[in-house]
């Protein structure tokens, strides 16, 4: 029975092996089941996360198939379009979008299935089923859903932004209009005021010419003050006229060589420069977009001030430019008497003077003119104090679109 006994052992061995393998299989099945369950849980969790993401997104999410039918939509989409879930699904995008961006557009998108934005460059209105419009921006992205190529649309309602933009534009327009009216008023007023003022000055002049020395000393002084006042008023009216003309009679902005403008200004000021023995230092000057007459006026006023408000020392004035934050920044620094920081804003207002008439002449309009010119050019102007005394005036201008173009034009 040796054979049978060995047979027996072999069977027992086989049974044991089978048992073992069964147990291993069992363990593996268990393990797999656990893994599967965990995977399912993961998927559920992911789906839940995904759902939450979709439902909480500040924009509506709509999944569209290739025929332009809506296959999936987030709660925000129902709210935005004011429909029930059943009313939105299976509808065509043509029910909600302008024709050229609806089903027709899907073909375009297939040609070039890259994510893209609609409504950025041109305003885009979606419409509800009742015909009311919603200003929107739409992001489109290709996606695989249920094994099919589809398009996911992210739709943002931008009504509030559009309304704010509209309001801002309206405000800017009405501000522009009231500025123009004010300029017109300043122009007409100063123009018409010249006429009676001319009579006052001329006849005061006649009085003083004919009667000075013939009345008592008081009378001479009275006439003198009246003549002086009339002359000053006449100067102010002229200034006001010129100030109002910056806006009403300014030329268009062209590519302008600021270096050339500066040379001309320095030539015009050469007498004052020589008289004051001033030292002028000039850096590289760029091409900018400007009305050249006004640019010269701006430079002339600033450099003229630097010469006028000098201190004890020999005036040192430097003019430089630097390209900063995509604009040209010009600086004009001097070693003059400087300006108290307290007055840094005030000096740019019309008819503001910091000094008595006896100290420095001028009607206090120069810097107001500068500000108006710079603002008309879309730039900014300000003043800084220099640590060792003196002032640093800074103004910005836009760059000429292309230097080559500018060179061609002149």
Partner 1 sequence: MNLDSMDLLIIEDNPGDVVLAKEILSQVERPVSIRVAEDGETALSMLDEHLPNMVLLDLNLPRISGQDVLRAIRENPKSHAGPVIVFSTSDAERDVVAAYDGGANCYITKPVDLDRFFKVVRSIENFWLDVVRLPAS
Interacting span for partner 1 (CB under 8 A) from 43-51, 85-93, 189-197, 391-399? 189-197
The answer to whether residue 323 forms part of the interface with partner 1 (CB under 8 A) is no
Is residue 197 part of the contact set for partner 1 (CB under 8 A)? yes
Burial class, 207, CB count within 10 angstroms (exposed 0-12 / middle 13-18 / buried 19+) = middle
With vertex at residue 378, the alpha carbon angle to CA 374 and CA 383, rounded to the nearest 5 degrees, is 40
- Minimum CB distance to partner 1, residue 185 (Å): 17
In 3D, which of 227, 167, 223, 225 has the Cα closest to residue 197? 227
- Single residue of 234, 293, 352, 385 touching partner 1 by CB under 8 A: 234
* Segment interacting with partner 1, rule: CB under 8 A, options 70-78, 143-151, 228-236, 354-362: 228-236
**Quick check: 219 binds partner 1 (CB under 8 A)?**
no
- The residue written with tokens 């379009």 in the block is 81
CB 195, min distance to partner 1, A: 5
Beta strand pairing call for 391-397 and 381-385: antiparallel
Q: Which one of 33-41, 48-56, 177-185, 192-200 is the stretch in contact with partner 1 (CB under 8 A)?
A: 192-200
**9, two tokens:** 């052992």
Using CB under 8 A as the binding rule, the residues of this chain from 326 to 385 that contact partner 1 are none
Nearer to partner 1, 53 or 199 (CB): 199
Structure-token pair, residue 56? 């909480």
Residue 199 found at the interface with partner 1 (CB under 8 A): yes
In sequence order, what DSSP letters do the residues of 180-241 get, joined into one string? HHHHHHHHHHHHHHHHHHHHHHHHHHHHHHHHTTTS-HHHHHHHHHHHHHHHHHHHHHHHHH
Indicate which single residue of 122, 209, 267, 408 sits in contact with partner 1 (rule: CB under 8 A). Answer: 209
C-alpha to C-alpha distance for 87 and 359, rounded to whole angstroms = 82
Alpha helices (H) along 316-364? none
Are 73 and 87 in contact, with CB atoms under 8 Å apart?
Answer: no
State yes or no: residue 202 binds partner 1 (CB under 8 A): yes
**Under the criterion CB under 8 A, does residue 40 sit at the interface with partner 1?**
no
User: How many Cβ atoms from other residues are within 10 Å of residue 238's Cβ?
Assistant: 14
Write down the least CB distance from residue 309 to partner 1, Å: 28
* Count of residues interacting with partner 1 (CB under 8 A): 15
Q: Using the rule CB under 8 A, which residue among 201, 256, 257, 292 binds partner 1? A: 201
Interface with partner 1, residue 242, by CB under 8 A: no
Residue placing its CB nearer to partner 1 in the complex, 64 or 246: 246
Q: Which helix (H) or strand (E) holds 157?
A: strand 148-157
Selected binder of partner 1 within 194, 254, 320, 344 (CB under 8 A): 194
Interacting residues with partner 1 (CB under 8 A): 191, 194-195, 197-199, 201-203, 205-206, 209, 230-231, 234
């Amino acid at each position: 029975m040796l054979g049978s006994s060995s047979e027996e052992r072999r069977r027992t061995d086989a049974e044991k092996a089978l048992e073992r393998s069964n147990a291993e299989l069992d363990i593996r099945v268990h393990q797999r089941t656990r893994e599967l369950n965990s995977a399912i849980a993961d998927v559920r969790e992911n789906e839940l996360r995904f759902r939450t993401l979709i439902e909480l997104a500040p924009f509506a999410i709509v999944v569209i198939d290739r025929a332009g039918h809506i296959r999936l939509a987030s709660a925000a989409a129902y709210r935005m379009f004011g429909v029930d879930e059943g009313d939105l699904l299976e509808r065509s995008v043509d029910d909600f979008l302008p024709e050229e961006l609806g089903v027709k557009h899907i073909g375009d998108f297939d040609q070039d299935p890259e994510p893209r934005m609609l409504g950025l460059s041109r305003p885009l209105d979606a419409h509800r089923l009742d015909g009311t419009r919603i200003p929107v921006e739409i992001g489109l992205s290709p996606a695989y859903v249920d094994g099919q190529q589809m398009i996911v649309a992210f739709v943002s309602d931008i009504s509030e932004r559009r309304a704010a933009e509209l309001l801002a534009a309206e405000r800017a327009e009405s501000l522009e209009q009231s500025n123009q009216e004010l300029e017109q008023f300043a122009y007409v007023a100063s123009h018409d005021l010249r006429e009676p003022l001319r009579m006052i000055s001329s006849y005061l002049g006649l009085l003083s010419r004919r009667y000075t020395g013939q009345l008592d000393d008081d009378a001479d002084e009275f006439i003198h003050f009246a003549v002086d006042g009339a002359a000053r008023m006449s100067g102010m009216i002229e200034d006001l006229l010129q100030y109002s003309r910056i806006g009403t009679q300014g030329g268009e902005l062209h590519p302008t060589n600021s270096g050339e403008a500066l040379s001309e200004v320095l030539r015009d000021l050469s007498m004052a420069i020589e008289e004051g023995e001033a030292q002028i230092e000039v850096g590289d000057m760029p091409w900018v977009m400007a009305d050249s007459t006004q640019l010269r006026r701006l430079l002339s006023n600033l450099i003229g001030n630097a010469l006028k408000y000098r201190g004890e020392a020999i005036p040192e004035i430097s003019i430089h430019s630097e390209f900063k934050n995509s604009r040209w920044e010009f600086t004009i620094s001097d070693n003059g008497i400087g300006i108290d920081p307290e007055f840094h804003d005030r000096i740019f207002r019309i008819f503001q003077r910091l000094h008595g008439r006896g100290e420095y002449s001028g009607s206090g309009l120069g810097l107001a003119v500068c500000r108006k010119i710079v603002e008309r050019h879309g730039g900014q102007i300000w003043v800084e104090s220099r640590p060792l005394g003196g002032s640093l005036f800074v103004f910005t201008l836009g760059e000429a679109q292309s230097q080559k173009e500018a060179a061609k034009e002149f």
